[in-house]
Chains A and B, each alone.
Chain A
Amino acid sequence: MLMFNFFSPAIALLFQEVTQGRLAVAWEKAQHPDLSKFLTIGALLFIIGVAGVLTRRNIIVIFMSIELILNAANLNFIAMSRYLQDTGNVNAVAGQIFAVFVIVVAAAEAAIGLGIVIALYRNKETIWIDEIDILKW
């Protein structure tokens, strides 16, 4: 009980935060996701992809991380396209058209990149990028 009395201001403050403070505002916003939430998810996916490219040694996983980065860009394009549509521009679908071209380029990139991986594996017998260093001086 003493402990409760000791912490009661903190508990009251927390209660206030929960009911009418920032937490309540955050909860209210979480129930109504808007453009910024989609852009945040896009940013997080992009960063995960960047981290994968920077930290992994397996060249195939690096390719997969690049696909993740391209997908994050697509998510941003489409979220912005929807936002423009919802602020009066009914025919603003340029973002979706961009996304189609991003998907086309990603497919071409994957085909060429995996062809290079196969050729590299045939010659060097490795897919660890730290062992592929013939261009390093």
Chain B
Amino acid sequence: MILTGWEAVFFWVFSIAAIFAGLLTVMARNTIHSALFLISALVSVAALFILLHAEFIAGVQILVYVGGVMVLFLFVIMLVNVGSEERGSEEIFNRPRQVAASVIFCALLVAALIAALNNGYAGLEKKDADRIQAAADENRIRDRKLPKSATGSSRITTDTQRMGGSLYRYGSLPFEIASVLLLVAIIGSVMLARTLKQEAAVDDVDPGVLQEEAAHDPELAKVQPEPLA
């Protein structure tokens, strides 16, 4: 996998954008700004996915992360009070010593990771050199056979088709389990975010706790649990 020409240019543009947006996510004082920088980091990573011929994952990333998860994040930021951090009356980082220790640790980790990657990749490249060259030629021949798109400027790839085929052929059980996981997550987040009044309305609170809370909340004392249908 070796990118050339405009692909290389786009690789550098989007990877530098992703890293800067990631850094600003961590360092921004305003939490809303953090969320918006995270959105731009996710979009840049989606562009890198497109460079890696994973168009489906890029689409899912933008639909699910940017369209779903980040909107959820923005709603929650608006529900809680982060004003003191924005105004500067609260520190945004932990105590300086902890920050220094974690930054040193992260710098060590990144140096070790990059050194290990470069050494390891040199060996891998040497091992696969002839296969990479042969496969690149094969891929070029295969791409030439693909049908042209409507504008004629590009070709219709079968990457997503292959991915979908593999997903349902080899991963159908995990796929079903993932759907159950999402159902559990939906029910769990609804259960977690209920107020005491909502819990009392369906008779889901410990009677002792309910009496204690109802003593200084007259609204809560009036709530009668609905009979189960």
Interface residues of A (CB under 8 A from B): 30-41, 43-45, 47-52, 54-58, 60-61, 63-65, 67-68, 71, 74-75, 78-79, 81-83, 85-88, 90-91, 93-94, 96-97, 99-101, 103-112, 114-119, 121-122, 127-128, 130
A13 to chain B, nearest CB (A): 24
Stretch at the interface among B89-97, B145-153, B203-211, B219-227: B89-97
Main secondary structure of the interface of B (DSSP, over half): helix
Residues on A with C-beta less than 8 A from B99 are 55
Choose among A34, A94, A110 the residue with the greatest number of B CB atoms under 10 Å from its CB. Answer: A110
Q: A60-B31, A64-B25 are in contact. Are A112 and B52 (CB under 8 A)?
A: no
Contact residues in B for A93 (Cβ distance below 8 Å): 159, 162-163, 166
User: Are A63 and B132 neighbours in the complex by a CB distance under 8 Å?
Assistant: no
CA distance A104 to B60 in the complex (A): 10
Q: Which residue of B lies closest to A84 (CB)?
A: B1
CB–CB B73/A114 < 8 A: yes
Q: How far is the CB of B86 from chain A (nearest CB, A)?
A: 11
**Contacting residue for A47 out of B113, B138, B189, CB 8 A:** B113
Give the chain B neighbours of A61 by CB distance below 8 A: 25-26, 31, 34
CB within 8 Å for A60 and B132 given contacts A39-B121, A51-B102, A112-B189: no
Return 10 A-B CB contacts under 8 Å, by A number.
A44-B22, A55-B93, A60-B34, A78-B57, A79-B1, A82-B1, A82-B54, A103-B65, A104-B182, A112-B188
A114 neighbours in B (Cβ, 8 Å)? 72-73, 76, 189
A residues near B82, Cβ cutoff 8 Å: 58, 60, 127
Instruction: Return chain B residues, CB-CB under 8 Å to A43.
Output: 110, 113-114, 117
The residues of B with any CB-CB pair to A shorter than 8 Å are 1-4, 8, 11-12, 15, 18-19, 22-23, 25-26, 31, 34-35, 38, 41-42, 45, 48-49, 52-54, 56-57, 60-61, 64-65, 68-69, 72-73, 76-77, 79-82, 85, 90-94, 98-99, 102-103, 105-106, 109-110, 113-114, 117-118, 121, 124-125, 128, 131-132, 134-136, 138-139, 159, 162-163, 166-167, 170-171, 174, 178, 181-182, 184-186, 188-193, 195
Chain A residues with CB under 8 Å of B35's CB are: 64
Taken together as a complex, chains A and B put the C-alpha atoms of A25 and B123 apart, in Å, by 17
The secondary structure that dominates the A interface is helix
* Min CB gap A89→B, angstroms: 9
Q: Are B189 and A52 in contact (CB under 8 A)?
A: no
**In the complex, how many angstroms separate the beta carbon of A54 from the nearest chain B beta carbon?**
4
